[in-house]
Chains A and B, each alone.
Chain A
Amino acid sequence: DADVTQTPRNRITKTGKRIMLECSQTKGHDRMYWYRQDPGLGLRLIYYSFDVKDINKGEISDGYSVSRQAQAKFSLSLESAIPNQTALYFCATSEPHGGAFTGELFFGEGSRLTVL
């Protein structure tokens, strides 16, 4: 079983609908992230969380919200989906060593979202 699991893997929805993407991890990491991947743009950070009481905006948080329900669960919501939110979404985790960020992220397999 994957250490970082995302559901759903694929979703097609309509403009204006509310969508939730879920992420759960068994790695025991405190830090969790949501990224969006678009062709030619690489990955861009939407939100990140360093523990259950810590939520931070990334570079493209507008139109998104998150919830850290537990150490192992981090959900991304689109309150009112729009077509330009069509993308591949990745959840990732990381764990610092000695308080320092190591740069190593562990990714889920992605959730492909299409907004019509």
Chain B
Amino acid sequence: AQSVTQLGSHVSVSEGALVLLRCNYSSSVPPYLFWYVQYPNQGLQLLLKYTSAATLVKGINGFEAEFKKSETSFHLTKPSAHMSDAAEYFCAVNTNNAGNMLTFGGGTRLMVKP
């Protein structure tokens, strides 16, 4: 079985500050890991993904995430927050034995203060 835990349902940062959104996964086999972003009144869109190549993955809009097997983590970071980053972020996991399905975490809402 696979699962995803996102620590912190709400995160607030000041514009220009570091963004850190936490994701831990549970999987009995090597996982594929994803971050999706949901802007207000929109569907989700893929931000970045890890598929067993480089452990540091760069995505759109300056975001990146690092796969750490020893910590079973895939935290999302951005050096400097922008007001337009305010959205809800979802971590998701897929494994080869999961029937081509994603399991999503509960989501973290990022608020950016001016």
Answer yes or no: are A and B bound together in one complex. Answer: yes
Q: Which A residues are closer than 8 A to B by beta carbons?
A: 4, 31, 40-45, 48, 50, 56, 58, 90, 92, 94, 96, 101-105, 107-110
Q: How far is the CA of A30 from the CA of B78 in the complex (A)?
A: 34
Are B101 and A90 within 8 A (Cβ)? no
> Could you write out 18 A-B pairs with CB less than 8 Å apart?
A4-B43, A31-B100, A40-B9, A40-B106, A42-B6, A43-B44, A44-B104, A48-B101, A50-B100, A56-B99, A90-B43, A92-B43, A94-B100, A96-B100, A103-B32, A103-B51, A104-B49, A105-B36
A42–B105 CB distance below 8 A? yes
Q: Is the CB of A109 within 8 A of B43?
A: yes
Q: Which chain B residues border A41 with CB–CB below 8 Å?
A: 106
Q: Is B46 interfacial (CB-CB < 8 Å)?
A: yes
The verdict on B67 contacting chain A, using a C-beta distance below 8 Å, is no
For the complex with contacts A94-B100, A96-B100, A104-B46, 19 further pairs of A-B residues with Cβ separation under 8 Å are A31-B100, A40-B9, A42-B6, A42-B105, A44-B104, A45-B101, A50-B100, A56-B99, A90-B43, A92-B44, A101-B100, A103-B34, A103-B46, A103-B92, A103-B94, A105-B36, A105-B44, A105-B102, A108-B43
Q: How many chain B residues touch A (Cβ–Cβ < 8 Å)?
A: 25
Q: Does B41 contact A (CB under 8 A)?
A: yes
Say whether B104 contacts A43, CB under 8 Å: yes
Tell me whether A109 and B41 are in contact (CB under 8 A): yes
Can you list the 3 inter-chain pairs with the closest CB atoms, starting with the nearest? A107-B43, A42-B104, A101-B100
- B90 interfacial contact with A, CB 8 Å: yes
B73-109 contact mask (Cβ, 8 Å, vs A): 1 or 0: 0000000000000000010101000011110111100
Please report the C-alpha to C-alpha distance between residue A104 and residue B94 in the assembled complex, in whole angstroms.
11
Considering only CB atoms, which chain A residue lies closest to B34 in the complex? A103
Measured between beta carbons, the chain B residues less than 8 angstroms from A50 are 100
Tell me the minimal C-beta distance from B11 to chain A in angstroms: 14
Distance between B104 CB and nearest chain A CB, rounded to angstroms: 4
**Does any Cβ of A come within 8 Å of B12's Cβ?**
no
Of A50, A103, A104, A110, chain B has the most CB atoms within 10 Å of the CB of: A103
